Amino acid sequence: MLINFAWQSLLARKVTVGLTVLSVTISLLVMLAIQHIKQEAKTSFTKTISGVDLIIGARTGQLNLLMYSIFNVGNATNNISWKSYEKLSQQKEVAWVIPISLGDSHKGFRVLGTTEAYFEHFKYANRRTISFNQGRSFSGTFEAVIGNHIAKKLNYKVGDSITLSHGISAKSFSEHKHNPFTVVGILAPTGTPIDQTVHVRLDGIEAIHKGWQSGVDLSQHANHANHTKTQDLTPTSITAFMVGLNSKLSTFTFQRKVNTYKNEPMLAILPGIALSELWRMMGTVENILAIISWLVLFAALIGLCTIMLAAMRERRHEFSVLRGIGASRWFILSLIQLESLFIVAVSIAISITAMAIGFWAAQDVLISNYGLNISSIKFNFETISTIVLVIGATIITSIIPCISAYREKE
C-alpha cells in the first residue's frame, strides 16, 4: 500500500517531480561518467603493454618517450642510430628486442615499422600475445599487418593494397605512391593502440624513403619498388626499441648503462614507473573533477529537499485525510522518504542507461581520436559505492521535510 501510494503521489505532481528527476539525473550522469572514464582510461593504458622491461629512445622526458612509442601520442624528438641499437641489443643482459620506427601514417592511422619479433614478444593485458583474425605476419618488404579497428573502419581485407603517407596527419600531400603495401594480416582486437596501427617491416620503411629528402620525393621512378630490391635497406636509425631482459635483477643496471651511454644520448625507462608518473600528474585533475561532481550532486539533492519542503504546505489536506483514515505519523514520514528514494532511484536508472548508450555510441570516436577503448559501463566497487552513498545522502536530506511533516501533526 505504502509503495503504491508513494508512486501515485509522485505521478500526481508530474511536472515538479519530472524537473527534479532531470536535475538529479544530470548530476549523477556527470559523476558516474567522470568515474567511469577515469577507471577505463587507467585500464586501457595499463593493459596496453605487458612484459616489456625497458623502453629505450632518444633522450627526452620519460612520459614523452612512453606516449609516442607505445600509445601513439605525440612525436619523437629525435631518433637513435642503428649502430647503437645493435650494440645494446647484443649485450649479455638482453633476452629480446623489438625495434620500432615511426613517422609515417595511412589515412590518419600511424604506421609502425618493426620486425617479426614484435608479434613474437610484444604482449598486452597481463601477458597476452598478439593474435591474428585473418592472414599472417609480414615476410616481404612491402607487406603490411593492420589493426582490427583499421580493418573495420576502412573496410580492408587481406590482399588489399595500401599506400603510406609521410608524416602523421590525417591528410598528407606526400604519399609514397611508388611503393604500395599489400595487407597480409589483420590482427584480433586488443582494446589497445595496436588496433589503430599499420605494421610494416623496417626494410619497408627504409625502402619507401629511398630518394626522399625533407619530406619530398626526389626519385620519380614508376618502378621504384623494383629499384629498392637491389639496394641496401638496413635502417640508419630507428625511433625507439623495447627490451626484454634475461633477469629482472639486471633492470636497473642495464637502465643505468643506457642512460650513461657515451656514443649518443639515450634514455631507458621502465613502463610501470612512467605510468605511475602519469597517474600522479592526473591525480590533481581527477580530484578536482570528483569534487565538482559531488558539489553538483549535493546541489541537486538540496534542490530535492527544497521541493519536498515547498510541497508540505500544499499537502496539508492530503496528510489530514490520511490521518483521518487511520494513517500513523510514521506512515506519513515513511511516505515522504519513499518518494525521495523513488525520485533518486529513477534518476539512477536513467543516468546509467544514458551513460551506457552514450559510451556505446561514442566508442568509435573515442578509439579513433583519443585511443581510448571505453566500455559502456561496469558495476565495479567504486560505482556501486557511489550509488549507495547517493541513496544514503538522499535519506539524510529527506529527514528535513520529514521533520517538517512531523511538526505539522503536533
Task: Going residue by residue through the chain, which has 410 residues, state the pLDDT in tens, using 9 for 90 and above.
Answer: 667 767 777 777 788 888 888 988 988 898 888 888 888 888 878 888 888 999 999 999 899 999 999 988 888 889 999 999 999 999 999 999 999 999 899 988 999 999 999 999 999 887 889 999 999 999 999 999 999 999 999 999 999 999 998 877 666 557 778 889 999 999 999 888 999 999 999 999 998 887 544 444 555 554 555 555 556 788 999 999 999 999 999 999 999 999 999 999 999 999 999 988 888 888 888 888 888 888 888 888 888 888 777 776 666 666 666 666 666 667 767 777 888 888 899 999 999 999 888 888 887 777 666 666 677 677 778 888 888 988 888 888 878 777 766 665 44
Domain-located, residue 277: no
Domain-located, residue 185: yes
CA distance 53 to 65: 14
Indicate whether 391 and 347 sit together in one domain: yes
Indicate whether 215 and 70 sit together in one domain: yes
Q: What's the pLDDT at 407? A: 63
Query: Which ranges constitute the DSSP H helices of 47-170?
Result: 62-70, 82-89, 117-121, 148-154
What's the N-to-C CA distance of the chain in angstroms? 25
Domain-located, residue 344: yes
CA distance 188 to 124: 12
Strands annotated E in 246-364: 266-269
Indicate whether 346 and 215 sit together in one domain: no
Q: What's the pLDDT at 304? A: 80
Indicate whether 89 and 170 sit together in one domain: yes
Domain boundary among 269, 295, 315: 269
User: At what angle are helices 399-408 and 329-361 packed, to 10 degrees?
Assistant: 150
Say which amino acid occupies 405: A
Q: What's the pLDDT at 215? A: 46
Give the total number of structural domains in the chain. 2
Indicate whether 76 and 221 sit together in one domain: yes
What counts of helices (H) and strands (E) characterise the chain? 15, 17
Q: What's the pLDDT at 136? A: 95
Domain boundary among 242, 269, 296: 269
Domain-located, residue 13: yes
Indicate whether 262 and 302 sit together in one domain: no
Indicate whether 302 and 258 sit together in one domain: no
Indicate whether 392 and 359 sit together in one domain: yes
DSSP string, 45-70: HHTT-BS--EEEEESS-HHHHHHHHH
Q: 132 near 138, Cβ under 8 Å?
A: no
Alpha-carbon separation of residue 397 from 170, 232, 348, 406 (angstroms): 52, 76, 17, 15
Domain-located, residue 275: no
Domain-located, residue 278: no
Indicate whether 83 and 27 sit together in one domain: no
Q: 47 near 125, Cβ under 8 Å?
A: yes
CA distance 52 to 243: 6
Domain-located, residue 276: no
Indicate whether 33 and 66 sit together in one domain: no
> Exposed/middle/buried for 219, CB within 10 Å: 0-12, 13-18, 19+?
middle
Q: What's the pLDDT at 329? A: 67
- Domain residue limits at 325: 2-45+283-408
Indicate whether 108 and 170 sit together in one domain: yes
Indicate whether 206 and 289 sit together in one domain: no
Q: What's the pLDDT at 410? A: 46
CA distance 32 to 352: 8
Residue corresponding to grid cell 579513433 = 368
Q: How many CA atoms lie within 13 A of 276 on its CB side?
A: 5
Q: Which long-range contacts (CB under 8 A, 24 or more apart) does 29-33 make?
A: 29/351, 29/354, 29/355, 30/293, 30/296, 31/293, 31/294, 31/296, 31/297, 31/386, 32/351, 32/352, 32/355, 32/377, 32/383, 32/386, 33/355, 33/358
pTM > 0.85: no
**DSSP-based helix, strand, coil % in the chain, nearest 5:** 55, 20, 30
